[in-house]
């Protein structure tokens, strides 16, 4: 494995972590003896200055792992062994198969499935490749499982989707911080110092989660809410604020619309009724509502706990209602934020990976947007395909036979998707499955072609972190073996399909500059950015429409992004989950992350220092539930949903809602909890309901 520095680079090279959306800076330092490298935190990036979590400190291990793919491989059938092939043969043969499939079934028979950890440039090129080279409407990415509900809610309420309306530096200046459905201490560990600094300065911290977590240990108030009751609980907070006239009257009537509908919707959700429905004490509902409303500065942060539900958009809108009703958006020390999970979950959805979006967060159904992007790409707007479907729905179209071929780049949908036995069936039906990855993942084991991509240390590019800061990540290592840069691979495919003239770039910065032109004038406007500026300024917040624009750390100071400049309040009546508990399935399964693992585990399960801490998933249940099923020392539990069963080791803890079982989702095959999860989708965001499904539980030896 070649882990040498790029030729001409200094002995010490800088990069950014490949894992969560904090994107902490790191330095790769050569050892005193031999060619070995060490990762250390870098003080040069203003987001998590001088800090890395355990995943970041060990991020080099998977890059140099012996499982790393180093050359292209193909096989005639899924039962046959892999055969090594050359790149020229690979590119030509894949293009030929794509042409034959499209000639027989139409352009939309081929789909592209991207990832939320790819650079902005690769995300942009994937979208362009799908629409210009393949002429298919079917492209989406794994960020659909991460940020889609928050994105839809932000667009509806603010007219704009940027994960956080304020920079991270606002958190220590706030007086009241609500963390709903987010376990920051494990998912974004280097964000915790911001929260602890706020607490040190006297801020009240409220956490809302069905479990006692590492994050809730820092809270002044922890609300252990059963999954599915998020909207009910917030309706109680809003009821108190409206009924006691604690809302910011001037802000509400000058800068928002929809107050009457909101007030009408929460009228019946008295604290007493909320206590009856959720078990959260009436006094706690009143305390949180009054505390947040009366605080001079307040911030609400949400994450997947309430977003990964069939009511995820409405759950998120409820918390945005809370921030808007109290006038806590667009002011210092105030704001709403959806804590992005993946490295480039924000940038990944802005520039063309989502089924309905063109670069700059433009709607693919907007004629003006189509005309602008088509001009940048040098094509006729009528050549652009229309809107496709979400990631899970693409997989289902493969199961139904409409999609015949799929290219998967930087994602592992067989592990990350709900009801994944159906996903496996869908992938097995494809006539052509091409996977580009670092490893032979669970998804890659079903592929016809397995191609070695580039790691985060080997490809230069830009990313956009959770606060909307666009920054440059340099190349730190040379490519090993026959691996290719992802963007070069896309351009070569385009050329083999006869569209190479549209993918002529001298280097990766050329791709970025074209992306900035394509985004110019859109909601996510990168028009004023270039590599030189990003390097000098350590990142710039979008929107940044011109080179002399300072960027936009704090959004909505004067107006929101709707045409009338006003934000929207929503009157929401809480709805039932897709799969309520019943006599046959009386308990709730919820899923989530662990601090030492990441997403499908393809990287962290190959990192010894991380994997040895949690080599297998362990289910968490309450002592009440353990007693209910007669669990004895040394026994495991079987969890069964309407889609399957899994047997796991178990941890009995007081720190979980009694009727809820928690299982982490970082494993595949027989240890994949997504064999059980329900594939119901939010009607707006098309987010699957990962966070709750009905199960039964029994003790087994």
What pLDDT, in 10s, does the model give residues 168-212? 999 999 999 999 999 999 999 999 999 999 999 999 999 999 999
Statement: residue 651 has pLDDT above 70: yes
In the chain, CATH 3.40.228.10 sits at: 148-338
Q: 148-338 maps to which CATH number? A: 3.40.228.10
Torsions phi, psi of 443, nearest 5? -65, -45
pLDDT confidence band for 79 (50 / 70 / 90): confident
Comparing 44 with 226, which gets the higher pLDDT? 226
pLDDT at 348: 87
| Assigned token pair, 426 | 């869908």
When pLDDT is averaged across residues 521-530 and rounded to a whole number, the result is 97
- pLDDT value of residue 10: 43
What one-character-per-residue DSSP string does 93-152 give?
HHHHHHHHHHHHH-GGGEEEEE-TTS-HHHHHHHHHIIIIIS--S-EEEGGGGTTHHHHH
Tokens of 459: 């490809």
Query: Where in the chain do CATH 2.40.40.20 domains reside?
Result: 587-700
Comparing 3-17, 554-568, 591-605, the range with the smallest average pLDDT is 3-17
Share of the chain above pLDDT 70, in %: 98
pLDDT tens-digit series, residues 526-539 = 999 999 999 999 99
- Is 34's pLDDT higher than 60? no
**What's the whole-number average pLDDT of the chain?**
95
- pLDDT band at 214; cut points 50, 70, 90: very high
DSSP codes joined into one string, 585-602: S-EEEEEE--TT--TTST
Q: How far apart are the first and last CA of the chain?
A: 44
DSSP structure class, residue 309? S
Query: Angle at which helices 87-105 and 486-496 pack, to 10 degrees?
Result: 60
**Start and end residues for every CATH 3.40.50.740 domain found in the chain:** 73-145+359-464+482-511
Domain 587-700 bears CATH identifier 2.40.40.20? yes
- Name all contacts of 275-278 with Cβ < 8 Å and 24+ positions apart: 277/229, 277/232, 278/225, 278/226, 278/229, 278/232, 278/233
pLDDT over 90 (residue 2): no
pLDDT of residue 32: 55
- Quote the strand ranges of 163-208, DSSP E: 176-180, 204-208
CA separation for the pair 139, 148 (Å, rounded)? 15
* Percentage with pLDDT > 90 across the chain: 94
Query: Which of 3.40.50, 2.60.40, 1.10.3210, 2.20.25 would CATH assign to domain 13-63?
Result: 2.20.25
Cα Rg of the chain, angstroms: 24
Give the model's confidence band at 349: pLDDT under 50 very low, under 70 low, under 90 confident, else very high.
confident
Give dist(CA 594, CA 614) in Å, integer: 9
- pLDDT confidence of residue 77: 87
Which numeric CATH code is attached to 73-145+359-464+482-511?
3.40.50.740
Question: Which residues of the chain form CATH 2.20.25?
Answer: 13-63
- Residue 412, pLDDT above cutoff 80: yes
For the cut 50, the answer to whether the pLDDT of residue 3 exceeds it is: no
């Amino acid at each position: 494995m070649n882990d040498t520095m790029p030729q001409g680079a200094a002995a010490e090279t800088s990069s950014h972590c490949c894992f969560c959306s904090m994107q902490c800076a790191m330095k790769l330092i050569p050892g005193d003896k031999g060619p070995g490298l060490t990762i250390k935190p870098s003080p040069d990036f203003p987001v998590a200055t001088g800090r890395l979590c355990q995943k970041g400190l060990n991020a080099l291990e998977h890059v140099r792992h012996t499982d790393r793919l180093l050359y292209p491989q193909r096989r005639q059938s899924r039962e046959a062994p892999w055969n090594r092939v050359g790149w020229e043969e690979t590119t030509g043969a894949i293009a030929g198969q794509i042409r034959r499939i499209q000639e027989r079934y139409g352009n939309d028979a081929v789909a592209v499935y991207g990832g939320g950890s790819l650079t902005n440039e690769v995300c942009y090129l994937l979208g362009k490749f799908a629409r210009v080279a393949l002429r298919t409407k079917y492209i989406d990415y794994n960020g659909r499982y991460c940020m889609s509900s928050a994105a839809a809610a932000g667009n509806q309420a603010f007219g704009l989707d940027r994960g956080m309306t304020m920079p991270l530096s606002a958190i220590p200046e706030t007086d009241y911080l609500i963390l709903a459905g987010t376990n920051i201490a494990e998912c974004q560990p280097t964000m915790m110092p911001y929260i602890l600094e706020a607490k040190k300065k006297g801020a009240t911290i409220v956490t809302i989660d069905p479990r006692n977590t590492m994050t809730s240990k820092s809270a002044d108030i922890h609300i252990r809410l059963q999954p599915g009751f998020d909207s009910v609980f917030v309706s109680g907070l809003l009821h108190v604020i409206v009924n006691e006239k604690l809302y910011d009257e001037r802000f509400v009537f000058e800068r928002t619309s929809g107050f009457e509908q909101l007030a009408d919707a929460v009228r019946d959700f008295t604290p007493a009724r909320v206590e009856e429905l959720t078990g959260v004490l009436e006094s706690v509902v009143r305390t949180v509502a009054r505390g947040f409303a009366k605080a001079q500065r307040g911030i609400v942060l949400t994450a997947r706990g309430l977003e990964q539900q069939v009511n995820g958009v409405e759950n998120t809108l409820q918390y945005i209602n809370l921030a808007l009703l109290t006038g806590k958006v667009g002011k210092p020390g105030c704001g709403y934020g959806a804590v992005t999970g993946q490295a480039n979950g924000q940038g990944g959805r802005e520039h063309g990976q989502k089924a309905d979006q063109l670069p700059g967060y433009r709607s693919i159904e907007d004629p003006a947007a189509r005309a602008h992007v088509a001009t940048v790409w040098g094509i006729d707007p009528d050549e652009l395909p229309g809107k496709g479907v979400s990631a899970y729905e693409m997989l289902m179209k493969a199961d139904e036979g409409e999609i015949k071929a799929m290219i998967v780049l930087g994602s592992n949908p067989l592990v990350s998707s709900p009801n994944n036995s159906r996903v496996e069936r869908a992938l097995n039906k494809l006539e052509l499955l091409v996977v580009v990855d670092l490893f032979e993942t669970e998804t890659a084991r079903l592929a016809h072609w397995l191609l070695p991509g580039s790691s985060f240390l080997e490809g230069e590019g830009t990313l956009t972190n959770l606060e909307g800061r666009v920054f440059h990540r340099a190349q730190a290592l040379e490519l090993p073996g026959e691996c290719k840069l992802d963007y070069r691979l896309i351009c070569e495919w385009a050329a083999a399909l006869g569209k190479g003239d549209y993918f002529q770039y001298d280097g990766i910065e050329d791709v970025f500059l074209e992306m900035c032109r394509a985004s110019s004038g859109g909601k996510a406007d990168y028009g004023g950015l270039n590599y030189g500026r990003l390097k000098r300024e350590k990142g710039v917040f979008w929107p940044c429409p011109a080179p002399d624009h300072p960027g936009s750390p704090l959004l909505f100071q004067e107006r929101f992004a709707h045409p009338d400049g006003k934000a929207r309040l929503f009157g929401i009546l809480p709805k039932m989950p897709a799969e309520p508990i019943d006599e046959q399935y009386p308990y709730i399964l919820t899923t989530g992350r662990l601090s030492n693992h990441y997403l499908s585990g393809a990287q962290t399960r190959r990192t010894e220092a991380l994997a040895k801490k949690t080599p297998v998933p362990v289910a968490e249940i309450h002592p009440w539930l353990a007693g209910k099923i007669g669990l004895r020392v040394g026994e495991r539990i079987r969890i069964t949903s309407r889609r399957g069963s899994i047997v796991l080791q178990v941890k009995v803890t007081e720190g979980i809602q009694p009727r809820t079982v928690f299982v982490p989702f970082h494993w595949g095959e027989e240890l994949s909890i997504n064999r059980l999860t329900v594939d119901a989708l939010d009607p707006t965001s098309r987010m699957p309901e990962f966070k709750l499904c009905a199960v039964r539980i029994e003790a087994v030896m």
